[in-house]
Structure 1
Amino acid sequence: MPKKPLPSPLLFSPARRRATGGLLTAALLGTGLAVGVSAHGSSDPPDRPRLLADTDRDGRPTERDEAGKGEWHDGRGAIVLPNLDDDAGRCPTLDPDGERLTDDRLAACHDGADDAVAGAEDAADLAPLLLVGADTSPTARATLTLDEASTEHAGLFLRGTGPDGEPTHTPLPDDGELTGEQLVEGAEFALEVRDFVRDPERWDGFVDVTLTVTDRGETHRDRVRLKVAPLLLTHDLLPVERMLVSDNGTTPEQVERADYDPQAPVESRLPGEAEFRADLAAGLAEAGLDDRLLAYPTGGDHWLRDQFITGYAVAPGPDGEPRRLSVLLRSADVMPEGSSADFPLRDGGRPAFTLFRGADTAVIQEFTADRVGDDAHSMLWGSFSSTGNFLVTPPYRTETTDFPAGRVLYGSDGELAAPDPAFTGLLAAQGEQDPLAVDTSWLGVGHIDEFLSFVPVDNERGWAALVADPGWGWRLLTEVAEAGGGDQPLVRDVDPELTPYPGLTVAAALEHPQLRAGTELATAGVDAALAVLTEELTLTEEDIVRVPALFERLEIPDYPRQDIVANHLPAVANGVQPGAEVFLAPDPHAPLDPSGADVFQRATEESLARVGNRVAWVEDWEYGHGVGTVGGELHCVTNAFRDLSAVEPWWREEG
């Protein structure tokens, strides 16, 4: 959505203010335009120049912003977006010699990386500041400066008008010196913030702008405080705008060297890909989301949820309309056997920059550099850093907590089986979604989405946790055998050679040591996770929807983690919620009951129907589930841009 330029407030010199009289002044205040009068509405000129920011969050600095402008709290205080997008499309994809940019150089380009303001779109991402003029002597001296901690992360511009009538933005000199004319007549300025908070001990996200005036032997200071908007991750109940699937025939480097259209038809390259795409498109259509698929070039690394996770930042804007910045946060997954100082991260994350960074969309990355080259660590523990290991609850409120943007969840044992600490530290530093670690070290891949999702429900909080239930899956198989179906194949309608145990029947599965052990281990793991979630999220049984699952214990020689499991049948819980009352789930290929229904499908449909949801089944056995030692499902092989228009402000209204 195009950004509206900030309306220029009227600035009066003290002499002109005295000539206009109180009636005109009162009329201007009624419009919300800033004039040089006291906070009480008097027509007397102020004693000295003052500085104003958008403290009341109505989108522009006015006299109403005087009270409390030097402080910041949830109910009052100016907010600024980080200027990390690329409004004019200036960021290159190759260096001048035609070589690939390093990961660091690719991420370093954005609108805040220089002292230029590239047009009205870029200017709209800056926070307005207003210097209200006053009578000062010809010898008065003044500066406008930032606090020391913010100087690396922010900059100040003087706003003006060029010969062509277009707005101009001139960087303030390093000393921040102002002119005598600006002190008397007033002036408009703009604050640019160039990053999110990453390490609160180095910078906490607050910016103090101080006006210092020395006149007639006295020095006075006037300060406003602003806060950078936090990075918030999107939750999966927001409506899907576009669903991303991998273009497995185009590499990230090819996209950096040539134009690419994500909406163009893509040739299916991997086994099962065509059927998967067709079912996914049909499921989205059932949810009322036709023609939503976008291609994302990975060259075959088709685990799209592991490449980046979507987020946003929002701040108050003019006319009461919020200003939003879409943010893609690249995975901190350092790949084994291939990471280098120049290209440390998974290559499939790079198209987030080259394809999607642009106007109102930023892409950032955060990882621990000393992990690069440690192939042993990356091979054994690196998957915990994949963004598929991160979920966000929908918004909720309890008697003691309030999460208007939802809460981040991720899998970790708090030791080696944990994501990159710099990445989780970035999320924690935002101060709004309070990342919660849940032990997933019992899972082979270790991703929280292997057993957990969320669906909309008509209850007090508006949603429920969709949770894999291994015990229920085992009981369903037992019922099939007791009803005379024990000689059925455990995996229905799949080439036996594509299954882990070709020819395994239901009866034999119930005696299979790896499946029995997998059920016990997974049951304990899910129960422990639910204990954390019910306590931390105050979930009740009404807030949990269970679906059947079947796990197996993995046998991986010389692997440091033993007694780990993977979903043996496609994980129903690892589906996609498109923001409608239709849940897209992988076809579990479970045995049939006496009526001819897939027992996992029937149980899932009944469970979700009780809370007002339908299921659209998607075939993913060859494309996702059966790949490699562990595989993955719909949530793993897709990603989504979601509609941000309905997200609630993260800040609280005063009073």
Structure 2
Amino acid sequence: MFQQAAVSSLPIFLRQKEEFSQYTRTRTCRLDVGKTQSILHVLGTTLKASLNRSAPPKTKYFSVKCTASVQYIISPQPEAPFHLSPVSLKDNSVLLITMKQASDHENDNKLSVWYYGADKNVLDRAILHLTAVEICLDVDADRDGVVEKGNPNKGTWNWGPQGHGAILLVNCDSESRFRKRLDSERDHILHLSDVRDMSPMIVRTKGPAKLPVGYKLVLHICQGDGEKIRVFTSRGEHYPLVLSSADLSSEIPYLGSAEIKFYVEGLSFPDKDFDGLIRISLSLLEPICQGIPETPIFTDTVVFRVTPWIMTPNTHRPLEVFVCSTKDNYKFLKGMKSLVEGNGYKLKICYEYMNRGDRWMQDELEFGYIDSPHHSFPVVLDSPRDQALADFPYHALLGPDFGYVTRVPHRKDVSSLDSFGNLEVSPPVTVNGKDYPLGRIIIGVAFPTTSHGRNMTKVVQDFLRAQAVQEPIALYSDWLEVGHVDEFMSFVPAKDRKGFRLLLASPDAGYKLFKGLQNDGNGGAKLFEGIPGEEQISVDEILDNKQLQDENNYVQSCIDWNRDVLKKELGLDDEDIIDLPILFKLVETKGHYRALAYYPDMVNMIVLGKNLGIPKPFGPKVNGSCVLEQEMVSLMGNLGLTCTFINDFASYHKLLGEVHCGSNVRRSPFEFKWWNMQM
């Protein structure tokens, strides 16, 4: 029946006090004198009752009795061991109550407080009938792919290898191959495989077969999070929707000692107005009486962070190469097929019925991926350029375990800088002691002092910055007619130094090479030999053209400005950079002078491991060999890389693009897990 607590000695009381320190959640409860109360207690929490507030008038002392599974301490601590003796009542006397284990039956434990007058006569007593339940909302907070029980850090997010917090995928693929639609746009789970794209969450309970009458368990989210996630549960072969923007809370059944599985679906990537953090709570509601709303007496909360969209650099292993087939790019396709398939990679061709004459595969999309401890898959980012290739990313790529995301500008202010030849990513770098294990995104914008310049549209820039794990770098690219960073830079793998080299177009290197030819008596060698209809020009004529020299001095100054930015933002030395001999020319468009490559732009290449697909430059020949090709072979050969020169002159170069512009590569994801970053 009842027993006096802490009757043996003071050390027992102190041990109890240490045990109580683990209970961080405290709930105030009333003691009603002269009546019996039924209290539902959640294990891991503490009930706090004011002894003085409920005491009868003229109370001077009190004592406490309880059954074996109930624990309590008195605060402030009595000055001496009280054993069975009544304790002096103070204005701030408080009783802290916990229980050791879940109840088998309702009201199977008891606690009573006895109140005494000055002569220690009994004035009255308050009796609590206690039912203990265990309630836990659990996720994979330690990021090992398993939903562990009761992780103390599940309610917060921390970056790093010792961090914590669950991870949520964006369900942006489509399990249906025939009726294309993002899974997140459906109001139901179409296939069991769709569950893999969601993060598991478990409600665990332990206790009596049912809760006392009127008590409820409610799963709930805030209104803002309702637009970012949905929650489904499992009922046999069915997966009913539990939480969404239309239903921010839902009562869930209490099944005694049981587990209920839920699946959390991400709907939105991090963005300017969304930091990626999501909170889901489970609350136990207590009834007061008929007609009066229930009140929450316990809440357990978990935190998810939505996975970012991650780009992969040139240094990663190629998985698939994408190109377009058009009526005039046969030579280009032949060269690409030889390069790609000859080195063991997959070539996927987008034919004219889909591309509708739009050959710029790089400009339409960028490949990336999303990752979590339990699942990952590629995701294509569709650019806002929306020309004839606009349908390809959605209709040809979206599918099971292949996601899709895009950002649509608020205004029709899309420029050439919104094409994704203007979106690159560096290999991993360390800058001033700060690690970027996933590299840094690189975009091109207008020069800061230019009021009339073109920029990448704000919604895309906001999206890229919000992913957080590949902090973007803005370069100046508006000086180019097309305006893409891939026209003057690229990355290739290397075995030494930082594991890569930055390649930069360099008019200075071009003029140095041509002056060397002239000094060796080869000034009469001509560019563009063998190209039908193209006017040939000699090295001497190029060097005598002062206007062209001035234009290239301007271009070099623009590239040098970007060179300094890249050295600073990527932590590079001059030894990490290779200058490629490429000349440019200025053209006038709508009153503005911008640059184009004078001959095929060799930096605009495709990188497939150690094999490079480079625009054939049709440079001056000495002893039957193109000196520009020889220079590239020498520079890249020093890195152990092989050069294949692809004829893209008529089908791409003359249309203001090159090999990289006309191709795209899906690459293997990083082995490094983004959640292990030190932010």
Task: Tell me what 1:244 maps to.
Answer: 322
Task: Tell me what 1:336 maps to.
Answer: none
Pairing partner for 2:229 from 154, 167, 172: 154
Please state if 1:49 is matched with 2:155.
Answer: no
| Distance across 2 between alignment mates of 1:611 and 1:130 | 52
Task: Tell me what 1:611 maps to.
Answer: 639
Alpha-carbon deviation of 1:461? 2.4
Please state if 1:356 is matched with 2:397.
Answer: yes
* 1:52-71 correspondence to structure 2 within 5 Å: 52-63=138-149, 66-71=151-156
Please state if 1:493 is matched with 2:518.
Answer: no
Pairing partner for 1:316 from 369, 373, 397: 373
Pairing partner for 1:640 from 656, 665, 669: 665
Alpha-carbon deviation of 1:90? 5.5
1:307-328 Cα shifts (integer Å, max 9, x gaps): 11111111111xxxxx112111
Between 51-60 and 134-143, the greater mean CA deviation after superposition: 134-143
Task: Tell me what 2:511 maps to.
Answer: 474
Kept after mapping to 2: 8 A contact 1:590/1:598: yes
The DSSP-based 3-state class of the residue aligned with 2:249 is: coil
Task: Tell me what 2:172 maps to.
Answer: 84
| Distance across 2 between alignment mates of 1:90 and 1:278 | 32
Task: Tell me what 1:144 maps to.
Answer: 219
Q: Please tell me the residue identity of whatever aligns with 2:268.
A: D
TM-score when scaled to structure 1? 0.77
Task: Tell me what 1:224 maps to.
Answer: 302
| Distance across 2 between alignment mates of 1:326 and 1:113 | 19
Alpha-carbon deviation of 1:385? 0.8
The DSSP-based 3-state class of the residue aligned with 2:625 is: coil
| Distance across 2 between alignment mates of 1:90 and 1:351 | 15
Say if 1:503 and 1:604 are closer, same or farther in 2 by CA, change over 3 A.
closer
Task: Tell me what 1:176 maps to.
Answer: 249
Pairing partner for 1:395 from 428, 437, 449: 428
Instruction: Specify which structure has the bigger relative contact order, considering alpha-carbon pairs within 8 angstroms and separated by 6 or more residues.
Output: 1
| Distance across 2 between alignment mates of 1:43 and 1:591 | 87
* 1:403-482 correspondence to structure 2 within 5 Å: 403-413=436-446, 414=448, 416-482=453-519
Where does the alignment leave 5 or more consecutive residues of structure 1 unmatched?
1-35, 93-108, 249-268, 318-322, 334-344, 372-376
Greater helix fraction, Structure 1 or Structure 2: 1
Alpha-carbon deviation of 1:475? 1.3
| Distance across 2 between alignment mates of 1:448 and 1:410 | 7
Task: Tell me what 1:569 maps to.
Answer: 599
1:99-139 Cα shifts (integer Å, max 9, x gaps): xxxxxxxxxx3111122011221111111111110334233
* Identity level (%): 24
Kept after mapping to 1: 8 A contact 2:319/2:346: no
Q: Please tell me the residue identity of whatever aligns with 2:283.
A: T
Say if 1:523 and 1:654 are closer, same or farther in 2 by CA, change over 3 A.
closer
Please state if 1:541 is matched with 2:578.
Answer: no
Alpha-carbon deviation of 1:199? 2.6
Say if 1:316 and 1:37 are closer, same or farther in 2 by CA, change over 3 A.
farther
| Distance across 2 between alignment mates of 1:462 and 1:43 | 57
| Distance across 1 between alignment mates of 2:586 and 2:241 | 64
Kept after mapping to 2: 8 A contact 1:545/1:608: no
Say if 1:91 and 1:146 are closer, same or farther in 2 by CA, change over 3 A.
farther
Q: Please tell me the residue identity of whatever aligns with 2:212.
A: S
The DSSP-based 3-state class of the residue aligned with 2:474 is: strand
Kept after mapping to 2: 8 A contact 1:546/1:607: no
The DSSP-based 3-state class of the residue aligned with 1:189 is: strand
Pairing partner for 1:509 from 525, 533, 542: 542
Alpha-carbon deviation of 1:424? 1.0
| Distance across 1 between alignment mates of 2:256 and 2:460 | 45
Pairing partner for 1:235 from 301, 306, 313: 313
Kept after mapping to 2: 8 A contact 1:160/1:188: no
* 1:570-589 correspondence to structure 2 within 5 Å: 570-578=600-608, 580-589=609-618
| Distance across 2 between alignment mates of 1:90 and 1:555 | 47
Please state if 1:298 is matched with 2:340.
Answer: no
Q: Runs of 4+ in structure 1 displaced over 4 angstroms? A: 36-39
Alpha-carbon deviation of 1:641? 2.1
Pairing partner for 1:346 from 370, 375, 387: 387
Task: Tell me what 1:4 maps to.
Answer: none
Kept after mapping to 2: 8 A contact 1:470/1:550: yes
Alpha-carbon deviation of 1:211? 0.6
| Distance across 1 between alignment mates of 2:416 and 2:248 | 48
Q: Please tell me the residue identity of whatever aligns with 1:649.
A: K
Alpha-carbon deviation of 1:291? 5.0
| Distance across 2 between alignment mates of 1:453 and 1:401 | 23
Q: Please tell me the residue identity of whatever aligns with 1:240.
A: P
Task: Tell me what 1:284 maps to.
Answer: 340
Kept after mapping to 2: 8 A contact 1:69/1:223: yes
Pairing partner for 1:209 from 265, 280, 285: 280
Q: Please tell me the residue identity of whatever aligns with 2:390.
A: G
Kept after mapping to 2: 8 A contact 1:242/1:294: no
Kept after mapping to 2: 8 A contact 1:51/1:224: yes
TM-score when scaled to structure 2? 0.75
Give the greater-gyration-radius structure (CA). 2
Kept after mapping to 1: 8 A contact 2:600/2:616: yes
The DSSP-based 3-state class of the residue aligned with 2:339 is: helix
| Distance across 1 between alignment mates of 2:226 and 2:171 | 15
Kept after mapping to 1: 8 A contact 2:325/2:333: no
| Distance across 1 between alignment mates of 2:664 and 2:338 | 17
Q: Please tell me the residue identity of whatever aligns with 1:540.
A: D
Please state if 1:112 is matched with 2:184.
Answer: yes
Kept after mapping to 1: 8 A contact 2:223/2:248: no
Task: Tell me what 1:339 maps to.
Answer: none
Alpha-carbon deviation of 1:491? 2.3
Kept after mapping to 1: 8 A contact 2:364/2:390: yes
Alpha-carbon deviation of 1:457? 0.7
1:429-459 Cα shifts (integer Å, max 9, x gaps): 1111111110112211111000101111112
Alpha-carbon deviation of 1:353? 0.7
| Distance across 2 between alignment mates of 1:60 and 1:119 | 22
